[in-house]
Structure 1
Amino acid sequence: MANNRNCKRAVLGFVIAVNIFDLISDWTIYTGELLNKDGLVFGPYDRHIVDATLVFCVIATVTFVVEFFLDIYNHNKKSETVELAVEILAVVTLLIEDLPLIGINLHIAFCRQRETNIIQIIKASTAILEPLVKLSIMAIKICRNNCKLKKKITEAKKIRQVLNFLILILLAINLILSILLVLTTMFDSLRLDEEVKNGYQQDVGIFMTVPNMADNEWIRLTDLKTITQLSSPTQGLFLSVMVTAAPLQYIWIRKHFPGSPESLSCYHGNSSSAILLPPNDCSNILPTTETTTVSMRFTYIHPSTYQPMGDIHYNLEVRQGFHQILTNETVSLKYFKVRPAVRSDLALTTTENDSHYQFYREDSDLLSTHEVWKTGTSRCGNTGRESPKLDSDLFVRCVF
């Protein structure tokens, strides 16, 4: 008899431990959703997903507390009514907490599988534990009840038999979905490999507009790989763009560090077309009171659990002439992927057979990263930021 009591206590303790572990796992998932940051390609989770996860975590907490006290009461004082209440609660918990949460996790896995990390794999693997344990306990309970044929079958026991059968079905569904979640998560790499990173970054660059440019016209500053592959990401990349006023317009893009200062490209023309000047001619351009100079610094934030592709931060200073400082809002930066047929190695673009250059046009030359950075097998929408993040703490000085 003592051994039987000890066995029941061990089973009760094990079930409570599994439920506590499951509750912690649910809240860990919610915390991870809150901590996810915006950055390159990947951004925060959809607000509806985060709110839904919170609701189901609260439900999980309430049902855990009720189930805990019912299990303790039923262990100390056997009651058919309490056992019935426990099994009704088990059905309710599976329907309004366990299955919805596993559904949310599957949605995240399918939509954002390229950002898989070790935490997600652990959480996905532990999702199998609870239905396996409960299936085993339920099977033992059903077998034990069926063996006691001499006992009178009451109406409550008939209801419990139906509930037990329903619980078995729901636990089996939960187990299948948990296994699917593990497989979906495990088949992705623990980190974004270089091939995947290159795929996201290929032909994607940072583009800029300055005052007096049309809204759909852009100057290419640099490609993402130049920044993400910096030998010293915290020091970053320092560029300057000098634009003189029309009609005799000059555009000069320079790199100041890392490495020795150099001219990247220089153009002379009007609002519709320009010619590429030799690098030596660019240094002869003298800034005037009508010259807009934009000096900017870009740094790279390395990937982390909550920023799988990392992020790019920037700060800039805009001057009109030598003294008038303009607000940062006069300059816009944005990520774009250049269309395959468009030349993309310089600040302005042209066809291979044309010696005249022009601004990149958003409608004909560029693709929004909102479209090209879709993630997941179901091609879910992009949630990453479409431009670098302004960081006013980065030191930047204007260079003429």
Structure 2
Amino acid sequence: MENKAIRTKPDGLVSSIPFCRGFHGKRYFKFIVFLLIVILDTADLASDWLLYNDVANTKEGLVYGPLEGSIRYALLVTCIIGTQSITIEIINLSLEIFRGNPWFDLELLSAVIIWIEDVPQITINVVIIACREEAISYFQLVKASVLIAGAIIRVLFSLILYCSNKAIRDIKRVKKNHESRSRVFNRALIMTGLIITLGGAAMVFLFTQYERNPDGTINFKVPNSYVEGEYDDAKYFNNVSIYFSHELFDWNTTASRYAEHRNLFRLFKINEIRQEKVDRMIIIQYDELTGPTKFVIKESDMSGNVRVNECFQMDRTGKNVTIGSNCTAYIALSINEFVFKFRYIKPYVPKLIFGDIKYNIKVKYNSASTCKSPDYVISNSIKDQSNKRVASLHYYRTKGSLDETNHVIHTSATHGTFYHSRSLQDIRDVWKTGFAHCKSTGSLAPHHDDSIDVQCT
């Protein structure tokens, strides 16, 4: 939150400013004071609406997505209240400075605005910043420093005003004079609100400039650039891949119906497509005509050339995977295939902080059939696979030394096994965002996009 205009005494704002007594009666000095307050209030209002615009336009992508509706609505309400209250305050202030007959007591109005707009606004700001990633740069460090410095100045300036002779006189008369009692009460409300805002500004600084590690330790985020921010994305994407689950990969057992026992097929690491920034195509060909199901996996390289990447066969009854050696002659002419094409959407701050991944899929059930969209739904959770009409894509991170080189785990040169969710780390547990390690609002899997052109082989 940016600096709020300094709101002071109910009677004679200009005459209450210390160290400038010789200028109090000058009209140009009054105009400067009024203009300064208008600029500060306008800048604060603009920052509030810019924050709301960022929050309202955030799209669901990698790691981050739209905030909860209650937070967005609360932020909108505070922005609307702030617009109305600042407008009233500026008009009231102009009447007090230039005519000496304001509509409302300045300190009473200031106390009301602080508690219905400033305090809620900084509270919402703290909640948002605590759960979000901030770009690391010297510019961002200066911005956060200005925020907390502004809050400190507001408190110190108010303390100077409230230690003036008039303020002390009001404290002495508090038991005998109703007006003095009201002014002291209003100043107490103002000061309490300002201290809360200062505390909120300090928390925003802490959340933006420090990071909390999973073990509870706190590190200062050292900037490496001046203006262009850098995001610490390694903690989100290292060893995270896209996994595909389909009944085709499951054993012929009752246990395969449960999510933790479903066989997962690894497609590729998220960092690969983020670094290459070109469409990625994965072709899964399979043959179920005789004996164990045979698979050949092909991928397109950065030049668009399709190459054979891996082949294996699975025996559903024996529950084993045999790694193939001669993939070129591995599958008969009559084949089925899944063809995935993935596209990386580049980051666009603040709408897509880490970008997004979209995909489209086509299927072909034999060499003579047409290439078409699948007749099943692809969910972002394997728990939705209650029947044959549902498959799933999901982000997972490998644990420990688990192999992440191939599409299935190669336990030896000739044998392998599938991945399972119980031996992987779900992305929900990986993507804990911000200083507070909040639950991720991002997508759990790539987004389906029919506009991506996919051609079968």
Query: Is contact 1:19-1:130 (8 Å) kept?
Result: no
Q: Are 1:64 and 2:86 counterparts?
A: yes
Do the aligned partners of residues 343 and 143 (structure 1) sit closer, same or farther apart at CA in structure 2, a change above 3 Å counting? Answer: closer
Partners of 1:341 and 1:268 in 2: CA distance? 24
* AA in 2 matched with 1:339: K
* Residues 322-331 or 112-121, more deviating: 112-121
- Residue 333 of structure 1 aligns to a residue whose secondary structure is strand
Alignment partner of 1:108 out of 128, 137, 145: 128
Q: CA deviation at 1:147?
A: 8.1
Compute the TM-score of the two structures, normalised by the length of structure 2.
Answer: 0.75
* AA in 1 matched with 2:409: T
Other-structure match for 2:272? 226
Query: Is contact 1:295-1:318 (8 Å) kept?
Result: yes
Do the aligned partners of residues 107 and 305 (structure 1) sit closer, same or farther apart at CA in structure 2, a change above 3 Å counting? Answer: same
* AA in 2 matched with 1:316: I
Superimposed CA distance per residue, residues 293-325 of structure 1 (whole angstroms, 9 cap, x where no aligned partner): 111222222223122222222222112213243
Other-structure match for 2:279? 236
* AA in 2 matched with 1:337: R
Superimposed CA distance per residue, residues 241-282 of structure 1 (whole angstroms, 9 cap, x where no aligned partner): 11223752011111133244322211112222220001x344
* AA in 1 matched with 2:69: R
Partners of 1:123 and 1:46 in 2: CA distance? 26
Equivalent residue runs for 1:279-294 within 5 Å:
280-288=326-334, 291-294=335-338
Q: CA deviation at 1:370?
A: 1.0
Q: CA deviation at 1:351?
A: 4.2
- Residue 337 of structure 2 aligns to a residue whose secondary structure is strand
Query: Is contact 2:107-2:183 (8 Å) kept?
Result: yes
| Cα RMSD for the two superposed structures | 3.1
Other-structure match for 2:400? 340
Compute the TM-score of the two structures, normalised by the length of structure 1.
Answer: 0.84
Other-structure match for 2:95? 73
Other-structure match for 2:437? 379
Superimposed CA distance per residue, residues 121-174 of structure 1 (whole angstroms, 9 cap, x where no aligned partner): 676455447645654654454455528969x96522331122123312321331
Q: CA deviation at 1:35?
A: 1.9
Structure 2, unaligned stretches of length 5 or more? 1-22, 211-220, 251-258, 379-390
* AA in 2 matched with 1:16: V
Q: CA deviation at 1:119?
A: 8.9
* Residues 136-145 or 319-328, more deviating: 136-145
Other-structure match for 1:217? 263
Alignment partner of 1:206 out of 235, 242, 246: 242
Other-structure match for 1:43? 65
* Residues 86-95 or 138-147, more deviating: 138-147
**Which one has a larger percent helix, Structure 1 or Structure 2?**
1
Equivalent residue runs for 1:1-400 within 5 Å:
3-79=25-101, 82=103, 84=105, 86-114=106-134, 124=144, 127-128=147-148, 131=151, 134-135=154-155, 138-139=158-159, 141-143=161-163, 146=166, 155-187=178-210, 188=221, 189=223, 191-193=229-231, 196-214=232-250, 216-230=262-276, 233=277, 235-245=278-288, 247-259=291-303, 260-271=305-316, 272-278=319-325, 280-288=326-334, 291-306=335-350, 307-322=352-367, 323-324=369-370, 325-327=372-374, 329=377, 331-349=391-409, 351=411, 355-362=414-421, 364-399=422-457
Query: Is contact 1:22-1:130 (8 Å) kept?
Result: no
Partners of 2:442 and 2:39 in 1: CA distance? 38
* AA in 2 matched with 1:319: K
Q: Percent identity?
A: 24
Query: Is contact 1:105-1:181 (8 Å) kept?
Result: yes
- Residue 54 of structure 1 aligns to a residue whose secondary structure is helix
Do the aligned partners of residues 70 and 95 (structure 1) sit closer, same or farther apart at CA in structure 2, a change above 3 Å counting? Answer: same
